[in-house]
Structure 1
Amino acid sequence: MVSSFNRKDRRAAERNKRAGRALAAVVFLGAAGTSPLWTPVAYAQSYAFSTVRVEGNQRVDASTVLSFAGIAKGQQVSAGGLNDAYQRINGSGLFETVEVIPQGSTLVIKVKEYPFINIINFEGNKRLKDEDLVKLIKSQSSRVFSPSMAEADAAAIAEMYRVRGRIAATVEPRVIRRADNRVDLVFEVTEGKVVEIERLSFVGNRDFSDRRLRQVLETKQAGFLRQLIQRDTLVTERLELDKQVLTEFYRSRGYIDFQVLDVSAEVSRERDASFVTFTIREGQQYDIGTISTVSEVQGIDAAEFAAVQKIKTGQTWNPALIDNNIARMENLALKKGLNFIRVEPRITRDDRNQRVNIQFAVVRGEKIFVERIDIEGNATTLDQVVRRQFRTVEGDPFNPREIRQSAERIRALGFFSDARVNAEPGSSPDQVVVNVDVDEKPTGSLGFGLSYSADGGAGITVNFSEANFLGRGQSIGFNVATTEDNQNSSFTFTERGFLGRDLSLSFGIFYRTSDYDNALYNTRNGGLSLSLGFPLGEQSRLSLRYNYSRNSLFDLQDDVAADPTATPPVAEDIRSPIIRREANQGSLASSSIGYSYEYDSRITGLDPTRGMLLRFGQDIGGLGGDTKFLTTSLFAMGERRVWSEEVTLRVIAEAGHIHDLGDTGTRVTDRFFLRGKMRGFEPNGIGPRDGTGLEDALGGNAFAVVRFESEFPLGLPEEYGIMGGAFLDIGSVWSLSDRAGLAGEIDDGLKPRVAVGLSVLWDTPIGPLRFNFAKALKKEDYDRTQSFDLTVSTKF
């Protein structure tokens, strides 16, 4: 026998059944009374039963039913007490029906047990597997069947389909009656079609196009290859997040009055598409006007606090800029030992000039201390990992801004899907308790990837990483990558909180081999590295490192050519004598120490329309090993969005120099190449070459390259993810210690090469693709050009 039930009908029937049972109980109580006429006085009657009998129970012991009833033999019980007993038995969830019937000195409790679940099946589901659905439901085999729980399970399954974009999905729980009061529970699923967002539009935007605003949102508009896109379905919760990120986008660009007035989501009549519209009010863009600092605390000089500010008149208004400067001033107060000092921003608007005047007021805050910090929800992550994100400990003065910043640092760890940090009153008025409630998420990954580039050919990548190893906040990673020319494997370990401080300790080992098509030799390089990094400021960091490696040249090919002028012809070795001399040195060990300085303005995001990244480092070799050298490297990048942030302009400059300090000279494994750094040329296509026909690229002791890039829309729908680009690359590789080549003096002078080109950038769901079409405008006769380059990378 198969039966189904509707939620509304079932609840109505249950209410009617309970009302009927209650009425029946009252009638029975009235019949058992001494008064022949039912009056309200009957509610005050008391009963005592010499016998309490349970009927209808099969698997549930009578003693269990009596324990729920709570009525003992001879106990005085009122009519209200009998009703309470009924409610307790019925509320146990073990019985389909319950009747409490007084019969003279005997109380009869009649029950009908819910059946036990024999098996649970799912029918009609194709997109979600049975094992995935089992994790969503609470009903279980060999447990008592509960209609309300089955309804809740059906709702949970339907909700999962809704999150996946199938809002038309329905789930109907049905039961199949079996012998021995058992049932099979079947969830009949009608999945329906994915309801994609056919159109994502905006109303009220003047300064930013729909295309630019769609880039900000988590929700995406369905487009090409829509079957592979995961965020183009209608999810109500995601729209709430979109409202928040849209507000942050505008506020960080000076639109202090921005509002999201409404978000409407409509589903087509066929329920196969949805249309989302954001109605917004941009307001006017404001800049920062006058800036002043005052002190309202005796003995504190406002000029000292004004000196640490990094804010200027004319900058675009950004709440993060204000918060950043307040943090600077409050940190200064802590360094000076001034507790309970707060900085209040006092804002006045100049609507005529569209400026915001700011006065930073140094005031004395309330004397409140941190009583304790409670952390919950971290089943895997150790408390110390979360606790070290706080600059405040128990007993310190309470600083609300520092608590908010600590919450941001906890979220930035990437270990939690959500982290909520709030302060509550403590055991006394001057104490607060900081509560941290986190929701952990998976932090490990195992990936397989495919890649292709015109430089390196096809490749396979296997990698494993765990960002929160054993819940200690440590990260480990293992990577194996191979292409037609290169094989690369590495292992890394990083401790982010070394010695309980903001220090990162990293250890790595690596092994690489290369087999270049345009070189008649191969290279091998293996070694280890150890580094220690720490912050110097909000946007800068310094790292110290030690490297040990051993490298060698192998598979040197003995290519020969016949000399046609000789009689008889004589075989002539066309192998580069420079490469041969370097190969004859065998395997050399390198041991070096070094440092790197990095400045990244993008960390704080104070100006979302522009950013700068600077890296500078040096390594000195000779602490053991076979080689002595000094290597210097520089990387600088600046980018800016223009024309309503539709176009990105970028400048990248790289340079490096290696200076030999010993008698081994530099080798091809040490010198610089412009592989991947300059378009329009093969990976080893630029720089000094040696050999008959100039077969071998030798690299150089110095290199420099500057790349000018732009990215812009092509007029295609934004959801396709296709952008255009243009570039101009200028660079060179030069300088050799050994210039005695087979064909005479080697050309190792500084001769700039120039290449221009166009790019097509396609951000596909399976990975980013970049097509480069380049033309070498300036080159040497022995350079090797490359007019087309394609790169693609995908992970699964």
Structure 2
Amino acid sequence: MSKKLGKRGVALVTALTISVPAGLLVPQPAAAYVFNDVRIEGAQRIEPATILSYANIARGQDVSAGELNDALQRLQNSGLFETVEIVPQGGMLVIRVREYPTINQITFEGNRRIKDEQLAQGIQSQARRVYQPSLAMADASNIAQAYAAEGRLAARVDPKIIRRSDNRVDLVFEIREGDLTEIERIGFTGNRSYSDRRLRQVLESKQAGLLRTLIRRDTFAPERVPVDEKLLTDFYRSRGFADFKVQGIAPEIARERDAFYITFNIQEGPRYRFARIDTISQIPGVDAAPFAAQNRVKRGAYYNPAAIDNTIRRMETVAIQQGLDFVNIEPRVTRNPHDQTLNLVFALTRGPRVFVERIDIEGNTTTRDEVIRREFTSVEGDPFNPREIRNAAERIRALGYFSNANVDSRPGTSDERVIVDVNVEEQPTGSLSFGASYGVNSGVGVNISLNETNFLGRGQTVGVTIATAKGDRQASINLIEPYFLGRDLRFRFRTWYSETEALNSDYDTRTMGLSPSIEFPISENGRLELRYKINEDKLENLDEGSSKILRDEEGTRLSSGVGYTYSWDTRRTGLDPLTSYKIEFAQDFAGLGGDVKSVTTTALAGIESRAWREEVTLRAEIEAGAVHALSDYDTWILDRFRGGGKIRGFEPNGIGPRDLNAENEDALGGNYFWAARAEAQFPLGLPEEYGISGGLFADVGSIWGLDQTIGNGGAVVDDSMHIRASVGASIFWTTPIGPLRFNFSHAVRKEDYDEEQNFDLTISTRF
């Protein structure tokens, strides 16, 4: 009876292993086997001892059908065999195996967007190794993920094998790349203060539009979603919405997996203004008055975390100056929902006595440690300031040298010490730029720029630029050391060469020179640059019909002098997200040797603000300049102001004093100028993903004043301050190859001899 059952068991096993590549042994509850020998069939590369170790069947002992099934499962799960059979034959157990074939070669078919070499780096299967279906499926998944990172979530990858002789196979990954999975629509719910259009401008992700084949930000990337959430939160909170929350983000993919629809569900909450603002000290012997003097939060202003952060930073500086360690500036905010105001208290408290044990930097293979370390204001042994560590992390990210930078702290060798870990991922910092420009007079121009912002890992900038257009050739070299002598001193060395040939004039010019300078902060928003400049300028090839004034100035002059520029720009701190101010004042004193003896002064003040729910950007500038000759020196054409876009609607050399008695009616430039410019930029109702907006502008100003006014025929040149004015419209187009601006202008006030320019286009291409 038991013999018959054994034969039935064999028949069942054989049937199953034939119908399924890895068959299951059907257990016979009453059967038991005793095997005196084991025969292995089909093994070529795998040693018999290895197969026996997986089977684990003891000789001469009772073996149940369940134990045979367990042995079968162990052999199958080893991943070494394509099929397995276990066949009892009396006192002998026969184990028949079919080994997985060897991979002869691996190929990719259907891939155009990602090269074979890139795909091969992401798989684990290798030629001349055993083919494993599970590994091939995992490789297919990795390839699909590589396409998903490129924005192609619809990509499909199927691993196929082609049988060859000698138990070999070719492994082929058949790839259907699919289309880009674009963000078809970004919407918002719960927004009342700002339109969807304005909020979409805040996000890193963009909707697919006219340039969807070029713009990469319109492809869906899951890692951008938390970035967008933070950008939205920062946007609202910097405008007074202290309780703003992103309640949910719902990305939905289309059935064809070729488009995403993202909806941000937000809760704006009330908009708060600051009311009462106090500073208190809870540290015995520490007076709060010097700290209160550093407060930059204004009563009645909208709530802005940046203003609070700036005040805390200033107060911490006072603590350092007074030699106070472990002082914690704690902002305590009390909401008054009934009138939508906030009471703010800056509390000086004693923080824990914790010191920085060391700063460990990892991940930088090119950038030197000191370039990263100098972004920390604290060093080993200083009191630990968590907020300063966060600020250092932001400064490191702002360098632009790293694709990712994480700064964290962990416990040190004792409770009073911490270790600061800096982990960075470097990214390319060099760029080769090709540019194009177009002007009505200068025609099409081409420029090439090679720039490296982290030269030899020292954090230095090295740039070379070559530009050429009709009648205009320029070349320059620029070197910048941002931390000269290990301090916050920005050293810059610049040298240049330029030629013009009858550029809207009847003469040629050539200029070359060099200028070293050093720049440093003198206030929170203010910086001062000190410079030396030496240059040689040449005026030549004047036309026979040129003005006597220009002919008297023909020749070469050497200029050597010093100068300075003071700049004040609120964008450096960004405390007001809606309005920014800029002021510049510069003077150059020529006369340290050479032929030129003059003082050139320029000043500029500008404001930019957003209005009408931040849909419209308003800009206004006023600019002025003067050149004063010293001793018996008279200014010449290359010293004087000649327009050059200061008043739109007029050509370069198109306004200012002009010798009308000369055959060429040459523009002579002026010792003085002033200009006021105003413009508004606004949406045109087109989808914002197209990057097209409109603008209106109005300019007014004048160029006047000459040291020598006797022109051709002894006539006196009119160098009075005649006011010019123009109005116009602009089309702004932000494209992947650079920003475009089309200006259409009309002069509404001008002199008869002025030369207008009704259209201009600037193209700046970078790739």
Task: Supply the AA of the counterpart residue of 1:684.
Answer: N
Aligned to 1:155: 141
- Write the distance in 1 (CA, Å) between the matches of 2:379 and 2:72: 54
- Write the distance in 2 (CA, Å) between the matches of 1:100 and 1:434: 60
Q: Which of residues 650, 653, 667 in structure 2 aligns to 1:681?
A: 650
Are 2:23 and 2:84, in contact at CA under 8 Å, matched by a contact in 1? no
Q: Which of residues 164, 175, 179 in structure 2 aligns to 1:193?
A: 179
Aligned to 2:268: 282
- Write the distance in 2 (CA, Å) between the matches of 1:666 and 1:655: 18
Structure 1's 406 and 471: CA in aligned 2 closer, same or farther, altered over 3 A? same
Aligned to 1:621: 590
Q: Does residue 482 of structure 2 align to residue 512 of structure 1?
A: no
Q: Which of residues 304, 312, 315 in structure 2 aligns to 1:318?
A: 304
Are 1:56 and 1:112, in contact at CA under 8 Å, matched by a contact in 2? yes
Aligned to 2:761: 790
Q: CA deviation at 1:273?
A: 3.2
Q: CA deviation at 1:435?
A: 0.8
Q: Does residue 456 of structure 2 align to residue 470 of structure 1?
A: yes
Structure 1's 377 and 746: CA in aligned 2 closer, same or farther, altered over 3 A? same
- Write the distance in 2 (CA, Å) between the matches of 1:156 and 1:575: 73
Aligned to 1:306: 292
- Write the distance in 2 (CA, Å) between the matches of 1:605 and 1:207: 21
- Write the distance in 1 (CA, Å) between the matches of 2:241 and 2:668: 55
Aligned to 2:575: 606
Task: Supply the AA of the counterpart residue of 2:286.
Answer: I
Aligned to 1:40: none
- Write the distance in 1 (CA, Å) between the matches of 2:230 and 2:413: 35
Task: Supply the AA of the counterpart residue of 1:578.
Answer: I
Aligned to 1:76: none
Task: Supply the AA of the counterpart residue of 2:590.
Answer: G
Aligned to 1:636: 605
Aligned runs of 1:248-287 on 2, under 5 Å? 248-287=234-273
Are 1:681 and 1:786, in contact at CA under 8 Å, matched by a contact in 2? yes
Task: Supply the AA of the counterpart residue of 1:434.
Answer: V
Q: Which of residues 709, 712, 720 in structure 1 aligns to 2:682?
A: 712
Aligned to 2:703: 733
Q: Does residue 440 of structure 2 align to residue 454 of structure 1?
A: yes
Q: Does residue 524 of structure 2 align to residue 531 of structure 1?
A: no
Are 1:519 and 1:695, in contact at CA under 8 Å, matched by a contact in 2? no
Structure 1's 92 and 486: CA in aligned 2 closer, same or farther, altered over 3 A? farther
Q: Does residue 642 of structure 2 align to residue 658 of structure 1?
A: no
Aligned runs of 1:383-532 on 2, under 5 Å? 383-532=369-518
Aligned to 2:540: 554
Task: Supply the AA of the counterpart residue of 1:702.
Answer: Y
CA deviations 1:471-507 (Å, max 9, x no partner) are 1111111111112232111111211222222222222
Instruction: Point out the more displaced range, 117-126 or 472-481.
Output: 117-126
CA deviations 1:152-188 (Å, max 9, x no partner) are 3322322232233322111112233334554333221
Task: Supply the AA of the counterpart residue of 1:265.
Answer: P
Instruction: Point out the more displaced range, 206-215 or 608-617.
Output: 608-617
- Write the distance in 2 (CA, Å) between the matches of 1:392 and 1:55: 70
Gaps of at least 5 residues in structure 1 are 1-12, 24-28, 34-52, 72-84, 102-107, 559-573
Are 2:281 and 2:348, in contact at CA under 8 Å, matched by a contact in 1? yes
Structure 1's 554 and 363: CA in aligned 2 closer, same or farther, altered over 3 A? same
CA-based RMSD of the aligned residues comes to 3.7
Q: Which of residues 112, 121, 143 in structure 1 aligns to 2:107?
A: 121
2:199 partner SS: helix
- Write the distance in 2 (CA, Å) between the matches of 1:334 and 1:580: 63
1:313 partner SS: coil
Are 2:435 and 2:763, in contact at CA under 8 Å, matched by a contact in 1? no
Q: CA deviation at 1:675?
A: 0.8
Q: CA deviation at 1:276?
A: 1.8
Q: CA deviation at 1:210?
A: 0.8
Q: Which of residues 608, 629, 639 in structure 2 aligns to 1:670?
A: 639
Q: CA deviation at 1:425?
A: 0.7
Are 1:57 and 1:111, in contact at CA under 8 Å, matched by a contact in 2? no
Task: Supply the AA of the counterpart residue of 1:665.
Answer: D
CA deviations 1:711-766 (Å, max 9, x no partner) are 11222222222212111101111121222211511122222211112222222333
Structure 1's 710 and 455: CA in aligned 2 closer, same or farther, altered over 3 A? farther
Q: CA deviation at 1:556?
A: 2.1
Are 1:372 and 1:433, in contact at CA under 8 Å, matched by a contact in 2? yes
Aligned to 1:571: none
- Write the distance in 1 (CA, Å) between the matches of 2:413 and 2:489: 35
Q: CA deviation at 1:192?
A: 1.7
- Write the distance in 2 (CA, Å) between the matches of 1:290 and 1:454: 58
Aligned to 2:13: none
- Write the distance in 2 (CA, Å) between the matches of 1:119 and 1:655: 73
Structure 1's 141 and 507: CA in aligned 2 closer, same or farther, altered over 3 A? farther
CA deviations 1:456-485 (Å, max 9, x no partner) are 321112111111112111111111111223
Are 2:242 and 2:271, in contact at CA under 8 Å, matched by a contact in 1? yes
Instruction: Point out the more displaced range, 174-183 or 340-349.
Output: 174-183
Are 1:594 and 1:620, in contact at CA under 8 Å, matched by a contact in 2? yes
Aligned to 1:700: 670
Q: Does residue 347 of structure 2 align to residue 376 of structure 1?
A: no
Gaps of at least 5 residues in structure 2 are 1-16, 57-70, 88-93
Instruction: Point out the more displaced range, 146-155 or 650-659.
Output: 146-155
Task: Supply the AA of the counterpart residue of 2:614.
Answer: E
Aligned to 1:36: none
Are 1:520 and 1:695, in contact at CA under 8 Å, matched by a contact in 2? no
Task: Supply the AA of the counterpart residue of 1:653.
Answer: I
- Write the distance in 2 (CA, Å) between the matches of 1:722 and 1:731: 29
Q: Which of residues 764, 789, 795 in structure 1 aligns to 2:735?
A: 764
Q: Does residue 692 of structure 2 align to residue 722 of structure 1?
A: yes
Q: CA deviation at 1:587?
A: 2.2
- Write the distance in 1 (CA, Å) between the matches of 2:502 and 2:223: 51
Task: Supply the AA of the counterpart residue of 2:164.
Answer: R
Are 2:21 and 2:84, in contact at CA under 8 Å, matched by a contact in 1? no
Q: CA deviation at 1:143?
A: 5.4
- TM-score, normalised to structure 1, is 0.85
Structure 1's 109 and 302: CA in aligned 2 closer, same or farther, altered over 3 A? farther
Task: Supply the AA of the counterpart residue of 1:344.
Answer: E
Aligned to 1:6: none
Q: CA deviation at 1:544?
A: 1.5
Q: Does residue 553 of structure 2 align to residue 582 of structure 1?
A: yes
Instruction: Point out the more displaced range, 367-376 or 782-791.
Output: 782-791
Q: CA deviation at 1:114?
A: 5.8
Q: Which of residues 301, 311, 315 in structure 2 aligns to 1:329?
A: 315
Q: Does residue 169 of structure 2 align to residue 183 of structure 1?
A: yes
1:125 partner SS: coil
Aligned to 2:154: 168
Structure 1's 113 and 381: CA in aligned 2 closer, same or farther, altered over 3 A? farther
2:283 partner SS: coil
Are 1:423 and 1:434, in contact at CA under 8 Å, matched by a contact in 2? yes
Task: Supply the AA of the counterpart residue of 1:649.
Answer: L
Aligned to 1:204: 190
Aligned to 1:8: none
Are 2:153 and 2:258, in contact at CA under 8 Å, matched by a contact in 1? no
Structure 1's 675 and 593: CA in aligned 2 closer, same or farther, altered over 3 A? same
- TM-score, normalised to structure 2, is 0.88
- Write the distance in 1 (CA, Å) between the matches of 2:447 and 2:363: 35
Are 1:521 and 1:557, in contact at CA under 8 Å, matched by a contact in 2? yes
Q: CA deviation at 1:113?
A: 6.8
Are 2:246 and 2:266, in contact at CA under 8 Å, matched by a contact in 1? yes
> Between Structure 1 and Structure 2, how many residues are aligned?
736
Identical aligned pairs, as a percentage?
53
Task: Supply the AA of the counterpart residue of 2:636.
Answer: R
1:417 partner SS: strand
